[in-house]
Amino acid sequence: MEFRLIYEGPLHGQGAKSPHKWEIRRALHPQLRRLWQEQPLKDVAADLLAFPARGALPSVVVEKDGLRFAPLITRRLHLYAEISVLLFRQQPRGTLITDGGDIDNRLKTLLDGLRIPRGSNEGRQERPDVPDPDPFFCLLEDDSLVTKVTVESEQLLRPADPDEVLAVISVHVKKTRLTPENMAI
């Protein structure tokens, strides 16, 4: 299974705080929710998103301190991901480590934003203005399930803040082994 996610907004590098990672999760949630409504996930979504688990398929939903997260890439389903990022940013080509161009730290922040939080309140506002979705769709159960990452950097040619990016995230879902639970994915 292959698909793409789009993130547009600030992407901080070194020292990015957890609230920023939560903002990335919130921005990607609607796209991941829609993915679960499309084939091939649509056929198995009712079982995999049931909490607690019901039927023959395991639930992918993880509860952390009253919040429920639904990652697509999980150990339970024997899945892992290869990710390719096309990153449009303000800095010209070749400025990888200066003035907001710190690609490796920005990439780590993006990967953290793709996974469920380590704790439900990791970076979450005490009383968010908008209620959290239930379940909260995330790409990864844990960022250790990413086995390959490639990044291509291009210059964003429109006016924007130095930390603003447009990231096209290509995801290739792979299986560690084929099981009845992951055949449709």
| pLDDT tens-digit map of 32-90 | 999 999 998 888 888 888 887 777 778 889 888 778 999 999 999 999 999 999 999 88
pTM: 0.88
Token pair listed for 112: 């953290």
- Confidence band, pLDDT 50/70/90 cuts, at residue 10: very high
Q: Where are the domains of the chain?
A: 2-175
| pLDDT tens-digit map of 94-144 | 655 555 447 888 899 999 999 998 865 565 655 567 777 889 999 999 999
Q: How far apart are CA 147 and CA 118, in angstroms?
A: 19
End-to-end CA distance of the chain: give it in Å, rounded.
6
The better pLDDT of the pair 92, 166 is held by 166
Q: How far apart are CA 25 and CA 128, in angstroms?
A: 14
Give me the half-sphere count of Cα atoms (radius 13 Å) on the Cβ side of residue 170. Answer: 11
Of 140, 132, 2, nearest to 73 (Cα)?
Answer: 140
The whole-number pLDDT of residue 149 equals 96
Q: How far apart are CA 88 and CA 128, in angstroms?
A: 29
Give me the sheet containing 146-155, strands edge to edge.
2-10, 164-175, 79-89, 146-155
DSSP H stretches of helix in 13-161: 18-36, 42-48, 103-114
The whole-number pLDDT of residue 121 equals 56
